[in-house]
Amino acid sequence: MTVRNRWILIGAVTVLMSWLALPSFFSDEARASHWWLGKDGMTLGLDLQGGVHWLLRVDEDAAVQRELERIQSSVAEAANDAKTEIKSSDVKAGVLTLHGDVAALRKIAEQSAPSADVDEEEGALVLRLKDRWKRDAVDRDAATALEVLRHRVDGLGVREPVIAPQGHGRLLVQMPGIKDPAEARPIITSTTFLEFKLVLDQAPSTELLQAKYPKGIPDDQEIVTQPSRKAKDQGKESEALLVPKKAVLGGDMLEDARMEYDRRNRPIITFQWNSDGAKIFREFTGNNIGHRLAAIIDNKVITAPVIQSKIGRNGEITGDFTREEASNTAIQLRSGALPVPLVLEEERAVGPSLGADSIRDGVHASLLGAGLVFVFMAIYYSVTGMFANLALIVNVVILIGLMSATRATMTLPGIAGVVLTVGMAVDSNVIIYERIREELRRGKTARAAIQEGYGRSFWTIFDAHVTALLSSIILVMIGRGPVQGFGVTLTIGLIASMFTALVVTRTLMDTVYGTHPERLRI
């Protein structure tokens, strides 16, 4: 490639990268009000712009309970096929208890539930989940919860969140830019399982409803309550409803859920069933016109209206929601229910003031490091050292431009990656310049020394950058949070360093010393 064509390439790359980097130096509000800045820019990580950090743990008891309930269904189905009666079964405190013909049930349980230890206690058969299967149950629920949380956080519109496993049964969630942790916490921790159940009876309170049944609530029914919406009665129940334990429909058949407004401009939640859910809901509501139907989320009644007509694919949930409550609940319903509750083990808020201090300190460190490099190169390598300094400026422009274009996240370790990139970019020029010096000592002309210096240094620089690039790519692919942020800046910086060391400085050398080789002093 001729020198002229190389200058065109360098100019085009520099202008393009400068334009791509521009949005990163303006706030979101400024980018929104000035279309020419573009909407995208480099994103600041949690440690730079502030936000919230959560460490969550899967409730192991709930995971074991859920797995034993699944085993309970499998054993009941196998017993039914074998014409063996189960008089009663109950899952409580990590134990599945079966009453009936113990000998026959033991044989059925051992065949249909290999994940459980089967024992006989006090004339009943008890099943306890084996330790290895307990661990597997927790890990499965953690993996499912991870995907649900990803959908929920994406629904909030948070840019570059970190949602990753953190050891056995633990999940790490970092949400940059969140100013109020309390507002976002329910999005993360609530299971949000929607159920529709027919209201069989009602009373102003649980005590009054229980009083109607002196012999006790039937085994296949339960009492659910509707919390009071009045500020003075916060935490109290406004109504108690008797409903079947088995739901007519659950949130697993939801196809979509959104926050909208009714005719009085009040927030509501609209939902849409899938084809199977629509068929069931249409048939059920058609057969129960005039009866109340309770919409229950996490065992709390949201609303219990009277069915006025047959309802098909679409429906709505009303309930004196605030806009935020309706929006967040719709996001949770749309993204699915958590398989088991998550326990909040750690919550740490990073204030924007701390982030501003980190940015300032990082910029100061970068400027100091670059300044010392600039001075050293200018003194030690004279004019050619200034070429390396100019190439270093282009390197930083390319780095910021590519990070803005790819909407990469800049973290505090990422700033460290920028500083390291500066050192590696100069290091490539040092290798080239020292090689040129060797060629000059051997008596070669300046033009030949430049040619040999760049030619023989190419593979050394290429090998060093490729091996470092492989390591940085692994950091990006496997690392999370700060480690990934360091890997991103290092990866992009290495690519930019190759271009500036082998193209930019070479073009400057050929331009200045190509026609006047006698001026070369290095």
Strand order in the sheet with 86-92: 86-92, 95-100, 124-129, 116-121
Taking the C-alpha atoms of residue 385 and residue 164, their distance in angstroms, rounded to an integer, is 45
Taking the C-alpha atoms of residue 403 and residue 37, their distance in angstroms, rounded to an integer, is 15
- Beta strands of 159-309 (E only): which ranges? 162-165, 170-176, 194-198, 201-203, 221-227, 237-244, 249-250, 254-261, 267-273, 293-297, 300-303
Output the 3-class SS for 133-184.
Answer: HHHHHHHHHHHHHHHHHHHHHHHHCCCCCEEEECCCCEEEEEEECCCCHHHH
Q: Which residues contact 96 (CB under 8 A, 6 or more apart)?
A: 68, 71, 72, 75, 89, 90, 116, 126, 127, 128
pLDDT tens digits along 347-400: 887 766 556 676 777 778 778 878 888 888 888 888 888 888 898 889 888 888
Closest CA to 466 of 497, 432, 489, 434: 497
Residue predicted with more confidence, 189 or 58: 58
The pLDDT of residue 94 is: 86
Closest CA to 229 of 242, 216, 239: 239
* In the chain, % of residues over pLDDT 70: 88
3-class secondary-structure state, position 204: coil
CA distances from 422 to 367, 368, 481 (A): 10, 11, 22
Four-CA torsion 152, 155, 160, 162, nearest 10 degrees: 0
The pLDDT of residue 12 is: 92
Q: Which two tokens stand for residue 147?
A: 């995907």
The pLDDT of residue 201 is: 92
Structural domains of the chain sorted by starting position, each given as residue range(s) with its CATH number in brackets: 3-45+353-519 (1.20.1640.10), 61-129 (3.30.1240.20), 211-334 (3.30.1360.200)
Among 116-125, 136-145, 155-164, 498-507, the least confident range: 155-164
| pLDDT interval class at 25 (50, 70, 90) | low
pTM over 0.85: no
The pLDDT of residue 28 is: 57
The pLDDT of residue 242 is: 92
Average pLDDT over residues 246-258: 79
Closest CA to 453 of 501, 411, 493, 405: 501
Angle formed by the axes of helices 505-513 and 352-405, nearest 10°: 60
User: What is the DSSP-derived secondary structure letter of residue 36?
Assistant: G
Average pLDDT over residues 299-305: 80
The pLDDT of residue 200 is: 92
Helix (H) / strand (E) containing 117:
strand 116-121
Taking the C-alpha atoms of residue 335 and residue 19, their distance in angstroms, rounded to an integer, is 37
Taking the C-alpha atoms of residue 245 and residue 168, their distance in angstroms, rounded to an integer, is 32
pLDDT tens digits along 437-465: 888 888 888 888 888 888 888 888 888 88
* pLDDT of 477 above 70: yes
Name the residue type at position 429. N
Taking the C-alpha atoms of residue 170 and residue 58, their distance in angstroms, rounded to an integer, is 6
Q: Which residues contact 212 (CB under 8 A, 6 or more apart)?
A: 201, 203
Output the 3-class SS for 364-394.
Answer: HHHHHHHHHHHHHHHHHHHHHHHHHHHHHHH
Residue predicted with more confidence, 95 or 418: 95
Count, residues in the chain: 522
* pLDDT of 151 above 80: no
The pLDDT of residue 316 is: 78
| pLDDT interval class at 426 (50, 70, 90) | confident
* pLDDT of 63 above 80: yes
Backbone torsion region of residue 122, taken as left when φ is above 0, otherwise alpha when ψ lies between -120 and 50, otherwise beta: left
Taking the C-alpha atoms of residue 400 and residue 398, their distance in angstroms, rounded to an integer, is 6
Q: Which residues contact 136 (CB under 8 A, 6 or more apart)?
A: none
* In the chain, % of residues over pLDDT 90: 3
For the chain, what is the mean pLDDT? 81
Taking the C-alpha atoms of residue 322 and residue 309, their distance in angstroms, rounded to an integer, is 27
Q: Which two tokens stand for residue 23?
A: 């949005």
